[in-house]
Structure 1
Amino acid sequence: MKRVLVTGGAGFIGSHFVKRIIQADDVASVTVLDALTYAGHIENLGVAFLSEKLRFVHGDITDAALVEEVAAGHTAVVHFAAESHVDRSYAAADAFLSTNVLGTQNLLDAARRHDIERFVHVSTDEVYGPLPEGSATEASPLRPSVPYAAAKAASDLVALSAYQTHGVPVCVTRSSNNFGAYQYPEKIIPLFVTRLLSGEPVTLHGRGQHVRNWLHVEDNCQGIEQVLRGGIPGEVYNIGGGTDLTSRELTGHILSLCGADWDAVTYIPDRQANDIRYSMVWDKIASQLGYRPKRDFHESLAETADWYRRNPDRWAPLVAPLTRRVVGRSAAHV
């Protein structure tokens, strides 16, 4: 029976994964280690928080002594905990390096000492950097443009080096942009939906030409579980297969779902180092592990917008201070 430690399990993607994996018959227990920073909330875990299988530990992965204590007795680690917002990384790169790199090293050290059988390090397609054309494979060079992506790329390399040096059974996953319910309203989909539902305008960088691949969070969690169960240690797995859209195209879909029109959109100068396009192939996880995304983008986006419409108590207190920082300065990161 698996005993799984999930770091960042009260965050957006982590909480979806916890709710998925805790239902597995071969999982005896799940421990969530989460610092409960601005983007992590106990409420994200829903009824999983009440499960007899779940143990919650409030703490930070930069606390090496705590990580050592919590890791004991587990058979697997799934590592989501990270500073993850590009705009924030411009002003606080040190925090991103501390959490994403040093925190990851703490987990790897503990995993080695406690003979963890599988360590899944969750990363992002942003480590590949901008690709005006073509698509990245798992063997493509890492060329991050911004402090967030650089810190994630560094943590990827630290994780893979632990496999090469110490035999820690690490797999790395890199997904495209996730969306779905419970996402903190600083990323473009929840920010635009909540602002438009509040009758507020939204802003687009440049002319809205930046291209991203949009993957429902449940599809990403499916892929992560498949890597947890069958991934080859020392390997990297891209998780994609969603829908490629420019930020303008995405905005059009969100406007329609929220009953708004283009009068609600303001264009602002592009942000420094705003990568024009991300793209990667995911043939490896498909051929080796049988991964196939299941969620239709348009249906899932409508479900996501409806969740925010039905749950204003979850986001309304967050949006006012956030949007005061965004209006006139920066749009959401995509």
Structure 2
Amino acid sequence: MTRKKVLVTGGAGFIGGNFVQYMVNKYPDYDIYNLDLLTYAGELAKHKSIEDKENYHFIQADIADMAVINKLFSKTGFDYVVHFAAESHVDRSITDPGVFVRTNVLGTQVLLDAAKAAGITKFLHVSTDEVYGELDFDPETFFTEETPIQPNSPYSASKAASDLLVRAYHETYGMPVNITRCSNNYGPYHFPEKLIPLTISRVVNDQKVPVYGDGKNIRDWLHVWDHCSALDLVLHQGVSGQVYNVGGHNERTNLDVVKTIIRTLGKSEDLIEFVTDRLGHDKRYAIDPTKLEALGWMPQYSFETGIAQTIQWYQENEDWWRPLLKRV
């Protein structure tokens, strides 16, 4: 039987890195190719446990480099592409939008062209609920796959543009694609500029924890391992051309998240420091994942169990995250 070849872009990052490990371990008969440029948020130390496995392969490359990407596709003959690679930090997009457009839009277009020429089985584009804009605080309102796209930051605008390119390649060329849009992820190997790992690292070090505005912005939290299982399902069973929302049923205010971490680590809430709110800071994200659940997926982690596991992981793996603090 011919071995399936799966290209995972951005596999040295947080979600992509967890997905690479998930796929390498679950599918020993698949060859998993991790393509990453290794920018500031990408690192390979997380893959020490799989780097010697026969079905794991690493490629350092820029997804926006057309010549390199075309050569890679023609040489390797991928069956699947799972596309994570993206600039993803909202604050950085506010100060330097151009980098986000190049990677997130042009890079996606380069990959789509190469995948189209190669006749791949499935192109799975991993996006974000931020492309929908924001919700109000009405607990009965949710993002669905039919919610209009209304991005509010340069980051989410660049992701929305890439989503629309993927859709267009399906509609125009008949390319087999899926788009997933997830809520906020958390879990092991999360780069420490993001809210949860930043808070953990600050609290462990008895440093002030910055909270934007009044801390009442709400996010729907999804454990990264639940996200990986959802992507696996969509990759193999998703209906071509369809969008699937991935949510964790775990809405919390940012302030609640910070207080939970402080309480779990046995520290004082005096560490909380309210700071000037982020420009264009969306009020609330919340996903209705009914369409995905109809395929047979359900999240396995409540926020309580997931955040406890995550905090414990960071306590046990300081040698991984402490060197990264200088990049934040």
Q: Report matched runs for 1:26-175 at 5 Å.
A: 27-72=29-74, 73-132=77-136, 133=138, 134-175=141-182
TM-score normalised by structure 2 residue count: 0.95
1:321 and 1:47 map into 2 onto residues whose CA distance is 24
Give SS of 1:50's match: coil
2:248 pairs with 224, 241, 245, which one? Answer: 241
Q: What is the distance in 2 between the residues matched to 1:192 and 1:303?
A: 15
Please tell me whether residue 271 in structure 1 is matched to residue 278 in structure 2.
Answer: yes
Equivalent-residue separation in structure 2 for 1:321 and 1:15 (angstroms) = 18
The runs of 5 or more residues in structure 1 that have no matched partner are: 323-334
- AA partner of residue 261 (structure 1): S
**2:318 alignment partner in structure 1:** 312
Letter in 1 for 2:150: R
* 1:290-309 equivalences in 2 (<5 Å): 290-309=296-315
What does residue 265 of structure 2 align with? 258
Does the C-alpha gap of structure 1 residues 246 and 229 become closer, same or farther in structure 2, counting only changes over 3 Å? Answer: same
Note the C-alpha offset of 1:170.
0.9
Provide the rounded CA distance (Å) in 1 between the counterparts of 2:326 and 2:267: 19
Deviation at 1:116, TM superposition (A): 0.4
Amino acid at match of 2:311: A
| One-letter amino acid of the structure 2 residue matched with residue 117 of structure 1 | T
Distance 1:126 1:110, change over 3 A: same
Contact 1:216-1:242 at 8 Å conserved across structures: no
State the SS of the aligned residue for 1:157.
Answer: helix
1:295 and 1:69 mapped to 2: Cα distance? 41
User: Distance in 1 between the 2:296 and 2:278 partners?
Assistant: 38
Cα displacement (A) at 1:304 = 1.1
Whole-angstrom distance in 2 between the partners of 1:81 and 1:88: 16
Segments of 4+ in structure 1 off by > 4 A?
none
Which consecutive unaligned segments of at least 5 residues does structure 2 have?
A: none
Instruction: String of CA shifts for 1:199-255, please: whole Å, max 9, x gaps.
Output: 111011111100000000000111011000001111100001241000111111010
Q: Answer yes or no: is the 8 Å Cα contact 1:237–1:282 preserved in 2.
A: yes
The two structures have a TM-score, normalised by structure 1, of: 0.93
Return the alpha-carbon distance in structure 1 between the equivalents of residues 18 and 327 of structure 2: 26
Q: Return the offset for 1:45.
A: 2.0
Q: Is the 8 A contact 1:79 1:121 kept in 2?
A: yes
Quote the offset at 1:25 in angstroms: 4.1
Moved more, 300-309 or 158-167: 300-309
Structure 1 pair 25–147 and aligned structure 2 pair: CA distance change class (3 A): closer
Matched with 1:202 is: 209
Conserved in 2, the CA contact under 8 Å of 1:18 and 1:48?
no
**Does the aligned pair in 2 maintain the 1:204–1:265 contact within 8 Å?**
yes
Q: 1:101-146, CA deviations, whole angstroms, 9 ceiling, x for partnerless residues?
A: 0000011000000010101000000000011031111011000000
Offset of residue 298 of structure 1: 1.4
**How many Å separate the matches in 1 of 2:48 and 2:259?**
31
Using the alignment, how far apart are the partners of 1:163 and 1:234 within structure 2?
6
Distance apart, 1:321 and its partner CA:
5.6
Give percent identity, aligned residues only.
43
Matching of residues 176-255 of structure 1 within 5 Å: 176-255=183-262
Instruction: Say which is worse superposed, 98-107 or 24-33, in terms of deviation.
Output: 24-33
